[in-house]
Structure 1
Amino acid sequence: MLRFKISLLAAFVLFTLLGMAAPSLKALLIGMLALVISLVIAVANFVRAEHRAERELQSSL
């Protein structure tokens, strides 16, 4: 859960920095797309880890 929260915080910080530093709208959109993709990957990894933990808990009972 901590890794997921850190990923969300990092994405927020990167969005903020990108918005301030983007030289053009096209660069901003490309950067935002890359950040959204990384956020989707972080959410998918979190869900997968939760399912794995749930399966391990059920198998140990």
Structure 2
Amino acid sequence: MEAEETMECLQEFPEHHKMILDRLNEQREQDRFTDITLIVDGHHFKAHKAVLAACSHVLPQIFSIL
């Protein structure tokens, strides 16, 4: 029964992940809630550490010592 309830929830919000990523990108573009700036070849990129850490195996370790 619990598995059925989980499936129903997933079916109700099939695009939820896309909405979250779109909103995070909008916040980044507006420089809202960004907490790190990456500099690559002199170009500055504002970012969310939590998003970067979620996409990497190395960055969470690096961020924890900063």
How high is the TM-score relative to the length of structure 1? Answer: 0.33
Q: Which is richer in strand?
A: 2
The structure carrying a bigger helix percent of its residues is: 1
Output the TM-score relative to the length of structure 2.
0.31
| Structure with higher RCO (Cα < 8 A, 6+ apart) | 1
